[in-house]
Amino acid sequence: MRAVGQAARQASRRMAAASTAAKNQALLSLARRLREAGPALASANARDLKAAAAAGLDGPMLDRLKLSPEVIETVAQGCEQIAAMPDPVGEISGLKRRPSGISVGQMRVPLGVFGMIYESRPNVTIEAASLAIKSGNACILRGGSEAIHSNLALAELVAAALREAGLPPEGVQLIASTDRTAVGLLITAPEHVDVIIPRGGKGLIERISAESKVPVIKHLDGNCHCYVDAEVDFDLALTVVMNAKTQKYSPCNATESLLVHAESASDFLPHIGALLAEKGVEMRGCSRSLALLGPIPGAVIKPATEADWSEEYLAPILSIKVVDSLDEAIEHINRYGSHHTDAILTSNHGHAMRFLREVDSASVMVNASTRFADGFEYGLGAEIGISTDKLHARGPVGLEGLSSLKWVVLGQGEVRR
Amino acid sequence: MRAVGQAARQASRRMAAASTAAKNQALLSLARRLREAGPALASANARDLKAAAAAGLDGPMLDRLKLSPEVIETVAQGCEQIAAMPDPVGEISGLKRRPSGISVGQMRVPLGVFGMIYESRPNVTIEAASLAIKSGNACILRGGSEAIHSNLALAELVAAALREAGLPPEGVQLIASTDRTAVGLLITAPEHVDVIIPRGGKGLIERISAESKVPVIKHLDGNCHCYVDAEVDFDLALTVVMNAKTQKYSPCNATESLLVHAESASDFLPHIGALLAEKGVEMRGCSRSLALLGPIPGAVIKPATEADWSEEYLAPILSIKVVDSLDEAIEHINRYGSHHTDAILTSNHGHAMRFLREVDSASVMVNASTRFADGFEYGLGAEIGISTDKLHARGPVGLEGLSSLKWVVLGQGEVRR
């Protein structure tokens, strides 16, 4: 691990200084190699799938592990998309002349070395590698042991692509050992690693955050809200809330809690209740919403407990509360939410602006589904993860989140008086 | 401390939502109150000075503790300058339409609550309070016990100014207890505090960083370099290097190490050696620089040890090394420096650009004194501190460093497919 760390630190200097052309060449070479390597990748992946099936992993886990031709084509296209994006490194912004005569601005630079710890999906290996290459960072990747053969095969393609472009293959290193102590070494080596990005279950992320001596960009809960205001287009609100809750239940940006203004509740709740019941979504309501929802044949509707307001279900369950004002809605979201993504459905401009400003979440939305909180949807090309932290990067983290700004001073011999 | 933390968290919502007019009113009221409170402040400060003298504190410590009329006028003007600056909060940037129909941008928002732990200088109380007010953050201040009476008197003025502007006085709270356990509670309460900014000796900062459960914006060493290139205006280089080293010895942005390209060394070193000797600066050189410096009557010139290259002297001592290339200079700075502030003296544009890009420091400079690395000199109005971290903020931290960007999505009922 020490050798890996030192090699990464050394490679990071060359990655940071690499030309845009070389970085794009590596990305396009990687895309080509991914497409050419179909059979080799399939056989490496088959070993992982066989071992996983033998270990009794369930269907969804096997699905995530699978490197199908479609998954490979998607990640290859991802590399091409990132190659087509502007290079974030070296951009100087805000250069201004100061009374002393010096000009002061800021330059966007890579963070240096990031360590990524993730589970199952081997496509994350390519997503992380391609973001590292374009952002001029070196990275150390630690995938799940269940995907080790797939990841090793993918890492070989990355190293070959880097070499082809004249970049150091140590710019992207995969930890070949599946030993757990490697993670411990990775997160306690600030001399080799500048930031750790864990992706996986909440338990993994909490453990890494607690033990890491290196800053962590992390994603914890996604307890997302939709708030239906007093002034609102009911059809629009129905469409958006249904999409936010039911388009997919497992993503972190799916809505878990619905707040409805008292003036809208008597019309809105019976309508949405019927639609949710059709989709088999269980409703857990406050007493006022229960009275308005009424019993719906075949639907599970029950009283919400205090714990429900903080819950991230990731399942066909929705908590529902009637509120008396925009203030109450904002207060509820800031208190019980997880500062991830929250949306207001309203036709009142002032309310929309207050919600945007006062809800303290990484993504705040007006009249759009919380499911849009995603690096691709935001135009970042790809995301290395989603941050629920407040420092550095909030929300989807792409090329910019893997960089920071340093100060640049241009003088003609000025001195301080 | 729990009550202080809860009050800060609650006040932070109102500070974040405060209008620019109210925040500026509070700042101008604070400036007025500072000027009016001269006698009251002087008598509170006299108690601290008396106790400090009795405790045997030395001259420079007493100087830093003193709230002279000049110091008070300076901090009052600082409040007015911050009032005159644009409000960073609520600015939406980069709003772009996406193929899905939604518009995505970023809004600058306060961090929430910052905790500041600092020593001696009571003027820091006002600097921190004024930056908190303008940036829409709440803050909890923990000054040194030696300045407690001065700080309490200043904090009362801040509370009165906040009240006058209709803002919560709990927006800026000073911990009245000088008990050390208060610091321990402050840095382990992520539910109440979003970021800790320690200012003081390296020991204090390392201790806080190690024990904090809250992210820390920190400043460690300032081992700053000047590199004199092969192509350079000698007079310009002499002027800038002398300023960077000798204008003041104690600041973190003073130069501690001089690198000279071999082609410049034989002309440059004898000249600067004579100037440094005149100022009584001790020189610690590599063998090649010692040969070129030669003995200078009355000057202390000795061989540098390996430890010298990493040393932050904060004293009239300079380490000197001859290098054979720009590459060697960059490598030396990245290896031994503290990523604080480094300058190149050159007339070669390509070398200047490479130095800016490849030296991994918070501030990189061309033909200007490292002493310029400062919030006021950079036009930030004031600085809450200087960061040597790589995530979030690098270098001088002002209003922007006390804020972060959240994502804003504006839709017309769009849903995810």
Give me the CATH number covering residue B115. Answer: 3.40.605.10
Domain-located, residue B385: no
Answer yes or no: do A45 and A131 share one domain. Answer: yes
Answer yes or no: do A245 and A154 share one domain. Answer: no
Give the position of tokens 């307001």.
A309
pLDDT single digits (tens) A120-150: 789 999 999 999 999 999 999 999 999 999 9
Chain B nearest-CA distance from A162, in A, is: 20
* B70, B76, B81, B87 alpha-carbon torsion, rounded to 10°: 150
Domain-located, residue A415: no
Q: A39-48, A373-382, B66-75, B110-119: lowest mean pLDDT where?
A: A373-382
Query: Looking at chain A, which residue has its C-alpha nearest residue B363?
Result: A407
Question: Are A45 and A67 a contacting pair, CB within 8 Å?
Answer: yes
Name residues whose C-beta falls within 8 Å of residue B378's C-beta, 6 or more positions apart in sequence: A98, A104, A407, B372, B395, B396, B398
pLDDT computed for residue B221 by the predictor: 85
Residues of A in contact with B365 (CB under 8 A): 408-411
Q: Do B407 and A356 touch (CB under 8 A)?
A: no
pLDDT computed for residue B263 by the predictor: 98
Question: Which tokens hold the place of A210?
Answer: 């607690």
Q: Of B176 and B278, which is predicted with more confidence? A: B278
Among the partner residues A111, A365, A390, nearest to B194 by beta-carbon distance: A390
Answer yes or no: do A287 and A187 share one domain. Answer: no
Answer yes or no: do B306 and B230 share one domain. Answer: yes
Task: Please give the angle made by the CA atoms of B144, B146 and B151, to the nearest 5 degrees.
Answer: 65
Residues of A in contact with B392 (CB under 8 A): 391-392, 404
Residues of A in contact with B407 (CB under 8 A): 362-364, 373, 378, 394-396
Question: Are A186 and A142 a contacting pair, CB within 8 Å?
Answer: yes
Name residues whose C-beta falls within 8 Å of residue B106's C-beta, 6 or more positions apart in sequence: B92, B93, B94, B405, B406, B407, B408
With cut-offs at 50, 70 and 90, classify the pLDDT of residue B57. Answer: confident
DSSP-derived letter for residue B400 is G
Distance, CA of B229 to CA of B227 (rounded, Å):
6
With cut-offs at 50, 70 and 90, classify the pLDDT of residue A246. Answer: very high
Q: Do B379 and A404 touch (CB under 8 A)?
A: no
pLDDT computed for residue A229 by the predictor: 98
Question: Are A231 and A346 a contacting pair, CB within 8 Å?
Answer: yes
Among the partner residues B90, B215, B236, nearest to A357 by beta-carbon distance: B90
Q: Do B13 and A362 touch (CB under 8 A)?
A: no
As a whole number, the mean pLDDT across chain A is 94
pLDDT computed for residue A258 by the predictor: 98
pLDDT computed for residue A92 by the predictor: 94
Q: Do B98 and A369 touch (CB under 8 A)?
A: no
pLDDT single digits (tens) A348-365: 999 999 999 999 999 999
pLDDT computed for residue B289 by the predictor: 98
Mutation pick from B97, B340, B390 vs chain A, by most beta carbons of A within 10 Å, is B390
Host H or E run for residue A126: helix A123-135
Query: Looking at chain B, which residue has its C-alpha nearest residue A210?
Result: B213
% of chain B at pLDDT higher than 70:
100
Q: Of A5 and B384, which is predicted with more confidence? A: A5
Residues of B in contact with A371 (CB under 8 A): 415-416
Closest alpha carbon to A106 in A116, A87, A128, A91: A91
Q: Report the pLDDT averaged over residues B300-309.
A: 97
Long-range contacts of B302-309 (CB under 8 A, 24+ apart): B308/B257, B308/B284, B309/B257, B309/B336
Closest alpha carbon to B219 in B404, B395, B402: B395
Domain-located, residue A143: yes
% of chain A at pLDDT higher than 70:
100
What is the count of residue pairs from A and B with beta carbons less than 8 Å apart?
A: 219
Residue spans of alpha helices (H) in A202-248? 202-211, 234-246
pLDDT computed for residue A103 by the predictor: 97
Residue B332 belongs to domain spanning = 224-372
Q: Do A366 and B109 touch (CB under 8 A)?
A: no
% of chain A at pLDDT higher than 90:
84
pLDDT computed for residue A266 by the predictor: 96
pLDDT computed for residue B325 by the predictor: 98
Q: Do A406 and B363 touch (CB under 8 A)?
A: yes
Query: Looking at chain B, which residue has its C-alpha nearest residue A233?
Result: B413
Answer yes or no: do B123 and B239 share one domain. Answer: no
Among the partner residues B217, B406, B411, nearest to A367 by beta-carbon distance: B411
Distance, CA of B303 to CA of B351 (rounded, Å):
29
With cut-offs at 50, 70 and 90, classify the pLDDT of residue B213. Answer: confident
Question: Which tokens hold the place of B21?
Answer: 């007019």
Question: Which tokens hold the place of B254?
Answer: 């003073």
Tally of CB atoms within 10 A around A57? 17
Domain-located, residue B315: yes
DSSP-derived letter for residue A281 is -
Chain B nearest-CA distance from A55, in A, is: 35
Domain-located, residue A385: no
Three-state DSSP at A97 gives strand
Domain-located, residue A115: yes
Q: A74-78, A178-182, A359-363: lowest mean pLDDT where?
A: A178-182
Answer yes or no: do B114 and B168 share one domain. Answer: yes
Chain B nearest-CA distance from A152, in A, is: 30
Answer yes or no: do A194 and A264 share one domain. Answer: no
Work out whether the CA dihedral B271, B272, B277, B283 comes out positive or negative: negative
Answer yes or no: do B138 and B212 share one domain. Answer: yes
pLDDT computed for residue B376 by the predictor: 86
Domain-located, residue A416: no
pLDDT single digits (tens) A317-332: 999 999 999 999 999 9
Q: What is the CATH number of the domain that holds A283?
A: 3.40.309.10
Mutation pick from B243, B416, B417 vs chain A, by most beta carbons of A within 10 Å, is B416
| Longest CA–CA separation in chain B, Å | 81
Q: What angle do the packed helices A148-164 and A20-36 form, to 10 degrees?
A: 140
Answer yes or no: do A97 and A15 share one domain. Answer: yes
Answer yes or no: do A208 and A231 share one domain. Answer: no
Residues of A in contact with B236 (CB under 8 A): 412-413
As a whole number, the mean pLDDT across chain B is 94
Q: Do B367 and A391 touch (CB under 8 A)?
A: no
Among the partner residues A358, A367, A378, nearest to B17 by beta-carbon distance: A358
With cut-offs at 50, 70 and 90, classify the pLDDT of residue A218. Answer: confident
Q: Report the pLDDT averaged over residues A81-106.
A: 95
Distance, CA of B289 to CA of B294 (rounded, Å):
8
Name residues whose C-beta falls within 8 Å of residue A381's C-beta, 6 or more positions apart in sequence: A78, A81, A82, A85, A375, A398, A399
Q: Is the model's pLDDT at B141 over the cut of 80?
A: yes
pLDDT computed for residue B184 by the predictor: 92
Q: Of A78 and B120, which is predicted with more confidence? A: A78
Distance, CA of A78 to CA of A72 (rounded, Å):
10
Number of domains in chain A: 2
Residues of A in contact with B358 (CB under 8 A): 13, 16-17
Closest alpha carbon to B66 in B92, B44, B95: B44
Answer yes or no: do A62 and A202 share one domain. Answer: yes
Q: Is the model's pLDDT at B64 over the cut of 80?
A: yes
Considering just the CA atoms, what is the radius of gyration of chain B in Å? 24
Tally of CB atoms within 10 A around B35? 14
Domain-located, residue B417: no
Answer yes or no: do A399 and A318 share one domain. Answer: no
CA distances (Å), origin A65, targets A51, A55, A61, A62, A144: 11, 13, 6, 5, 10
* A147, A150, A152, A156 alpha-carbon torsion, rounded to 10°: -150
Phi and psi torsions of B260, nearest 5°: -130, 130
Q: Is the model's pLDDT at B382 over the cut of 80?
A: no
Q: Do A366 and B410 touch (CB under 8 A)?
A: yes
Phi and psi torsions of A163, nearest 5°: -60, -45
Question: Are B153 and B143 a contacting pair, CB within 8 Å?
Answer: no
Q: Of B327 and A190, which is predicted with more confidence? A: B327
Tally of CB atoms within 10 A around A239? 17
Hey, which residues does B141 pair with through a beta bridge? Answer: B116, B174
Query: Looking at chain B, which residue has its C-alpha nearest residue A100?
Result: B377
pLDDT single digits (tens) A275-323: 999 999 999 999 999 999 989 999 999 999 999 999 999 999 999 999 9
